[in-house]
Amino acid sequence: MDEELRWTDAVGQAELVQSGAISPGELLDAGRDRIREIDPVLHCIVAHLEPGAEGPAPGAPFPRVPFLVKDLSLEIAGAPFNEGSRWLKDNVSSQDQELARRYRHAGLAILGKTNTPEFGLSPHCEPALHGATRNPWDLGLSTSGSSGGSAAAVASGMVPMAHGNDLGGSLRYPAAWCGVFGFKPTRGRVPMGPEYGDVAGGFAVEHALTRSVRDSAALLDATAGQSPGDPYWAPPQARPFLLEAGTAPGKFRIAATATPNSGQQVHPDYLGVFEETVELLAGLGHSVTEAHPESLGRAGHRAVRAVYGGAIAWIEAYWTQRMGRPPEAGEIEPFTAADFERSRALTGGQYLLGMGELQRFSRRLAGFFEEFDVWMTPTVGWPPLPLGTLNGTEEEPLRGEREAGRFLMFDGEYANISGNPAMSVPLGVDSDGLPVGMSFLGRFGDEATLFRLAGQLEKAAPWADRKPGALERALAASRRS
């Protein structure tokens, strides 16, 4: 592998093509070479794809830059589409999603689809259909999820960026455990059509995992914008997000807390990185105050369960209709089966009552952002768990849900409930050298503030030079053998 090219971000790779230093074909071949060498160690990719012979359109921002898409919701005509489920193991997409078309129009070379837990329902990346994706920082640990395959691929240097999506933290949690930048845009910023629209009341959004802030911003510039008939519309952006990422932010009012929502214990190393980040922000001139939005409370948590339950009921009904049959015995995992069973008891009235409660909460959250520009917490509160810990079993199907409480403790779902943009920024490491991410939630429609802040943090506390040592040792051993 060309190690310098491997760790060059997507904007940098595009600049090499545009300057003539490398041809689009050479860039594509280098990406294929990295995938061939790295993926057997990590198992990020569940379907290999060819991008086609046609070259990028003139002026495309990412000419032949290697790219991967998560095998969840984003369909590509003629490509396998399994969503991590044995029920869907022979399913093939018959159409492109609008986002896939925008990726191609941007010049990206889509080389594969990445691993995800069954229907994206769990915060891990270990589906029975495909097996586990390994964390490049420690091959025995989880990547979190559900965009874990994409996060690991980016952290490994396989590709500079990869698609993911987020209904309850699925971009940000794996970003934190894999040490990459994970950005969740405002609701409606990126289209989900033509097949999908109102997924769980707009909780679900599409974007990507990247190594650099500018890659995330430039990719969002290339894909943002509503399609006719979209159910949600984000406020128009004032300027290109790439420009925002390089703009000095000025002084922001930042609320910060590391107090978990349900009394869980935060790992001491994570508290240390949080405190270092508070000091860094203050040193950069920002006003940092110990504060947090009001809690969801019992009514809010019941509402979240109702809305997520409605989404799970939709998944079962949608795929039963699309496949022409319900799942057969052994075709879905124990946790999914338990989730489906729980959701069947939910009524339409309960779902809509839940949506109403969460919309009222969103209005109160909007009031919080009249006082503050950003809310910061650790993205998660504990280091990566061993592979297998988050899987349900026949004897204990909900085991993973219980174990997830060991690290999911900072209200990541607020971004999905409200539709506000959020990001996980890799701002430190723990005592074992594993990455630690900090979460930042912004106001609705205001990605600009987050990109400005992220760009400033990237310069003040850069992470690009951190390489996953466990993967490098495994690759070295493979080469020797």
Catalytic residue list: 70, 146, 170
What does the alpha-carbon distance between residue 408 and residue 386 come to, in Å, rounded to a whole number? 15
CB atoms within 10 A of CB 330: 9
Residue among 103, 112, 8, 6 nearest 64 (CA) = 103
Q: Which residues contact 376 (CB under 8 A, 6 or more apart)?
A: 254, 255, 256, 257, 277, 278, 281, 288, 438, 439, 440, 441
Give the count of beta carbons closer than 10 Å to the beta carbon of residue 207: 27
- Written as six digits, the tokens of 467 are 């390489």
- CA-CA distance, 37 to 35, in Å (whole number)? 5
d(CA 77, CA 299): 42
Strand partners, 109: 66
For residue 458, which of 410, 424, 432, 420 has the smallest C-alpha distance?
424
Length of the chain measured in residues: 481
DSSP letter at 372 equals -
> For residues 158 and 70, what is the distance between their CA atoms, to the nearest angstrom?
14
Sheet holding 181-184, edge to edge: 45-48, 109-114, 66-70, 161-166, 205-210, 181-184, 422-429, 435-442, 374-378, 253-256, 287-290
If we measure between CA atoms, which residue out of 239, 262, 246 comes closest to residue 214?
246
Query: Are the beta carbons of 407 and 434 closer than 8 angstroms?
Result: no
Maximum CA pair distance of the chain?
Answer: 62
Whole-angstrom distance between the N-terminal and C-terminal Cα of the chain? 16
Please list, in sequence order, all residues whose beta carbon lies within 8 angstroms of the beta carbon of residue 443, skipping any fewer than 6 positions away: 366, 369, 373, 420, 449
CA contacts within 13 A on the Cβ side of 438: 31
Contacts of 39 (CB under 8 A, 6+ apart): 45, 153, 158
Cα 350 to Cα 370: distance, rounded to the nearest angstrom: 31
Exposed, middle or buried, 388 (CB in 10 Å: 0-12/13-18/19+)?
A: middle
